[in-house]
Chain A
Amino acid sequence: MLSVREGRGEMLGVLFDRYQVPLFNFYSKLTGDRTASEDLVQEVFLRILKYRRTYRPDKPFRTWMYQIARNTRLDHVRKKRPETNWQPELSQTTQDVDRAQQSQELALLQRALMQMSEAQREVLVLTRFQELHHDEVGELLGCEAGAVKVRVHRALKELREIFRGLESMRPSAPGGARGREEGINRTMPRRPTGGWQ
């Protein structure tokens, strides 16, 4: 019995090692709350164990896991009292970014991300950080891959507007659209190519 018990632990351990960081980042970028994110990651693995029989091998495991992750998050939000809603200004993630003296621009981007609606933010998190393909995200959100592209673009537009707003409020902001454009020109290659990241 011991070997069976160990075997089970080892198997779950393999999954845990493989997916704890991506899942943690899914939650931390979605909620900005490290502690809650760790709790949610734990809950996802317990649910994987609990609902393992509902997995259908004809679907990618990753999609199934993120479906569980989204449901876990939804349940968590439902249980949470309204007054304990997370405040973007207090985000530990944001504080961490600031504390680590990362570029102000990235800290600002992080703030802008956290000020988006959660639905828009989730589309960006899934496509940009979790490396999910459009059809996988479509499966999760219940829409076609084409609709995901439209959603990504809308989310990016919203992010741009919020980012602009935050940038203009910054004390050291370069000021106005001119400064912003200069900022872009500094960071943009003249002819963008595919091999990035």
Chain B
Amino acid sequence: MNCEQIGELLPEYLGAGLSDEQRVQVETHLAQCADCNEEMALWKKLALLPTEQPSPELRARFEATLDAYREGRAQEATGFVTPRKKLLWALGGGSWTPAILAGIACALILVAAAFFAGRYTNRPDTSSQEMTEMRSELSNMRQLVVLSLLEQESAVERLQGVAYGAREKNLDPKIVSALAHTLRYDSSVDVRLAAVDALSGHRNQPQVRESLVEALDPQQSPLVQIALIDALVDSHDPSAIERLRKLQEDPNTNPEVRQRAAWAVQKLS
């Protein structure tokens, strides 16, 4: 291997991401190449550069910016800003004859009357529109938070993601699939158990029930299997019976789980 090829492997070499054969090749090369050694030393040193902290006021300033942004949008939505801007623009230029001025005065009175009438009659609509908008915003934000937390390496953060995910009354389908994915594939039993709890709290949603049944995998940890079986019994969904029977008959299933599955089949039949 030449320096180019070795150089491309260095980050992975240090991160222990190479095969044994590649590792030996890199080490043999490094033993005789000062340039590559120097590059590796630099790559290592880069990690020593300190992580900088933003100023403590950043959060407060952000909150203020956020409020200003929201206020600006609310004004746009209620039509406060746009007509005023138009009016200022109209008054700013040109020469005015008495007839035009009188016309403008009448128009202004009409506009003002329409504006105030509109303001009062539209108030409930605007408010409910704003409420709907805010609810949708909250739901979107929650989705972002849940999905971002569920992809973190730390189990604590993933647990937090599951908890946030379960907060809404009706779970968004995207959140349900993210939680279902966590329930099946998360590396931590605690996180998977939390996902069972989170989903079973929304078992009135058909997609959630399907996810719970789907997760009843023979490879799953017995603890999670038992929690799933209990959740399925609570959901009174007979469509789970077939899957439960399979689990009960599978010789690889843990004896306690088989017993629990038999009990569940009886309950749901």
Contact = CB atoms under 8 A, between A and B. Distances in A.
Nearest to A164: B38
B65 to A, nearest CB: 6
Contact of B47 (A16, A62, A128, A192): A128
Contacts of A152: 8, 11
A5 B15 CA distance: 44
Contacts, number: 176
Contacts of A16: 59, 62
A20 B10 CA distance: 29
Contacts of B13: 192, 194
Nearest to B17: A194
Given A15-B148, A42-B58, A53 B40 contact: no
Interface string A145-171: 000011011001101100100000000
Contacts of B157: 18
Given A8-B141, A16-B59, A197-B47, A153 B10 contact: yes
User: Majority SS of interface residues in chain B?
Assistant: helix
Interface stretch (B86-94, B132-140, B222-230): B132-140
Question: Secondary structure of the A side of the interface?
Answer: helix
A128 B52 contact: no
B174 to A, nearest CB: 5
A156 B144 contact: no
Contacts of B37: 184, 188
Contacts of A14: 145, 149, 160, 164
A77 interface: no
Interface in A1-60: 1, 4-5, 7-9, 11-12, 14-16, 18, 20-21, 24-25, 28-29, 34, 37-38, 41-42, 45-46, 48-49, 52-53, 55, 57, 60
A109 B62 contact: no
A38 B52 CA distance: 11
B54 interface: yes
Contacts of A57: 143, 147, 174, 177-178
A35 to B, nearest CB: 9
| Most chain B CB atoms below 10 A, which of A49, A150, A180 | A49
A191 B27 contact: yes
B148 A25 contact: no
A127 B8 CA distance: 13
B38 A184 contact: yes
Given A20-B58, A153-B4, A192-B14, 10 more contacts: A42-B65, A52-B141, A97-B49, A113-B46, A113-B49, A152-B11, A187-B45, A191-B27, A194-B14, A197-B47
6 contacts: A11-B145, A18-B149, A38-B55, A128-B11, A153-B4, A184-B34
The 9 closest A-B pairs by CB, nearest first: A194-B16, A61-B148, A11-B141, A153-B7, A24-B54, A52-B140, A149-B8, A8-B138, A197-B47
